[in-house]
Amino acid sequence: MPTHQVTPPLDSLVLYKVRPARVVGVGEKIEIELDGGQSKRVRPKDIELLHPGPLRHLSELAPQEGAPTEAWELLEGSETTLRDLAELAFNDFTPATAWAAWQLVAEGLAFTGTPGAIQARCREVVERERAERAAKEAAERDWQSFLERMKAARPAPHDSHRLGEVERLALGRSEHSRVLEALGHQQTPENAQRALIQVGYWRPHHNPHPIRCGAPVGDIALPVPDLPEEERLDLTHLPAYAIDDEGNQDPDDALSLDGERLWVHVADVAALVTPDSELEREARARGANLYLPEGVVNMLPSAVTERLGLGLHEVSPALSFGLRCGDAGEILDIEVHRTWVRVTRLSYEAVEQRLDEEPFAALRAITDRFRARRSASGASRLALPEVSVRVEDGQVRIRPLPRLGSRELVTDAMLMAGEATARFCLEQGLPIPFAVQPPPDKTEETLDLAAMYARRRCFKPTKLSLDPDPHASLGLELYTRTTSPLRRYSDLLVHQQIRAWLKGDSALDRPGVVERIGAAEAASVAVRRGERLSNQHWKLVYLKNNPGWKGAGVVVAVEERKAVLLLPELALETRVRVREEVTLNQRLGITLNEVDIPDLSASFRILG
């Protein structure tokens, strides 16, 4: 605010906002000249008189030699005027010294106030302010040095705390990064990942997706109780086979044949993981095992698998589902028991060579009848390419999964157990989560790759419901998941309900089941997304490591000027530009063009 309303004379020095100005015209409005020669008409109250002049040109306001520190020491703690300050600091009061004195005030360190009332601040305040400014200037210099190192992709070891901010954005734990903003990058997890790789903070193949999706990635450190003393049916006289992929670490189901009766034995996880225990709440919060190419993150402590995995000890405790399969593939004579079983572990490949031997031939005859019934009920026969992606010794290994009869045998046996369990629980009035799926919008079932690709898009996702409904793609009127309690929470919950019934205890009511399934399914969404994106990530790492990759793609859809290709060797979908007309199911030779790992994308071009 101006100190008075006196009209400043011509050629006087005035303050306009924070800039010096020379008065060149006086009237209803004051005409001023600013540095650079610009003229402006302003109101008297918009300017403040610093010196009456004469000031012929703003270039006269040159820097002044003087003793401003001594002036402050003399005036410390008192009030003065601009004129007195100029005379004390510069031994004169001219437009140049007035402007130099005002600069001391504008600096705001030793002096503050207005031209007519300037306060000389006390020493304690000045020293504190000087220290704060020095620290701020040092911090700014350090920040600018850090940005230069980032631009040069040469961060120093002490930059890790700042890069941690970028990492939080890359992992989806924050939405803002001052570092990326200062570097002019859009603040996205992908750009943060790219920056961390560029400066060497992350290795190029670092997989951020499980954490970014919110999936748990740490092991569980909870005590595991002992197996309770309880009566069990002894089925150790029946040969039992846990058939799974080579190297599987959590065998939780096995098959036995007792005459015409099929037994599906499942690890008795609910014997150790009881409702509302710490273990159960942790499993519920995780929803399912997280299967990554680089390893498995379990929903339960590894000690549970070590104690209960079928075939890991000479005799294993199980929850066993006995049933017969009628001539029409129907499930008959269902029974459920707590059991002891003696299990041999076999791989799918080993059993594939023995499908004509007993007991595998008899097992296959049973599951074939069941599969025929499912097919007649509209079960889908989708057989899109599948691969196993593993990271071993730092190398990405991708192996196509062949369509094995042994794998179909085990799959159908597990589905039989699921249907039998659903019927059993429905008959006993036990609330459980049924797996249901409405039929697809289109019903045509064909076996060529393009048709299967299109049909897969027609299916709606499987949902868990307390009300029994058909599962369309399985061709089952009634079904629940029950054979993977080591890996999946919903299966564990079904086991807990059955065990409560077997013991004569009260099972969970419907609201209790709904609450638990809701929490577990929310967690499972993060797990499934983390798995899917991680598989995509490692496929792209594999391609990045093989820049000359060539292969074949099958046209499964045609878009404007582009063909959608499925690469069977990688089970990877991509889009390529086409110049000539292509047809569905046509095989095209392609080669890798470019890979962008943070963006989870790869481009290919057609050979020839």
CA proximity to 451, closest of 557, 379, 563, 375: 557
Which residue do the tokens 């039998």 mark? Answer: 420
User: Which residues sit opposite 51 in a β-bridge?
Assistant: 13
CA proximity to 419, closest of 480, 463, 474, 364: 480
Three-class SS of 249-315: CCCCEEEEEECCEEEEEEECHHHCCCCCCHHHHHHHHHCECEEECCEEECCCCHHHHHHHCCCCCCC
CB burial of 387-405 (b: ≥16 within 10 Å; e: otherwise) equals: bebbbeeeebebeeeeeee
Amino acid at position 89, single letter:
A
Which residue do the tokens 């196509």 mark? Answer: 400
Q: Which residues are CB-contacts of 188 (< 8 A; sequence separation ≥ 6)?
A: 169
Which residue do the tokens 């402050």 mark? Answer: 72
At residue 559, the pLDDT reads 86
CA proximity to 275, closest of 464, 515, 436: 515
Round to whole Å and give the CA distance between 387 and 396.
Answer: 12
Round to whole Å and give the CA distance between 29 and 471.
Answer: 85
Distances (CA, A) of 549 to 263, 389, 401, 536: 47, 17, 20, 16
Q: How many CB atoms lie within 10 A of CB 64?
A: 19
- β-pairing, 117-120 vs 316-325, is unpaired
Amino acid at position 128, single letter:
R
Q: How many CB atoms lie within 10 A of CB 608?
A: 5
Sheet of 550-559, strand order: 572-577, 562-567, 550-559, 587-596, 601-606
At residue 2, the pLDDT reads 43
- Using DSSP's 3-state secondary structure scheme, residue 103 falls into helix
User: Which residues sit opposite 559 in a β-bridge?
Assistant: 562
pLDDT (tens digit, 9 = 90+) per residue, 34-60? 998 899 999 999 999 999 999 999 999
Report, as ranges of residue numbers, the positions in the chain whose pLDDT lies below 50. Answer: 1-4
Give 313-329 as a DSSP string: SSSEEEEEEEEEE-TTS
Round to whole Å and give the CA distance between 419 and 569.
Answer: 34
Q: How many helices (H) and strands (E) does the chain have?
A: 16, 24
Q: Which residues are CB-contacts of 403 (< 8 A; sequence separation ≥ 6)?
A: 383
At residue 316, the pLDDT reads 96
Cis ω before 54 (30° cut-off from 0): yes
CA proximity to 489, closest of 518, 468, 461: 518
Separation of CA 184 from chain center: 24
Distances (CA, A) of 97 to 48, 85, 104, 207, 500: 16, 9, 11, 64, 94
- Within 108-245, where are the H helices? 123-151, 160-170, 178-183, 189-198, 209-212
At residue 1, the pLDDT reads 39
Per-domain boundaries in the chain: 13-124, 142-202, 233-525, 546-606
**CATH architecture designation of domain 142-202:** Orthogonal Bundle (1.10)
Say which CATH topology domain 546-606 has: OB fold (Dihydrolipoamide Acetyltransferase, E2P) (2.40.50)
Round to whole Å and give the CA distance between 200 and 194.
Answer: 10
Separation of CA 132 from chain center: 40
pLDDT (tens digit, 9 = 90+) per residue, 335-357? 999 999 999 999 999 999 999 99
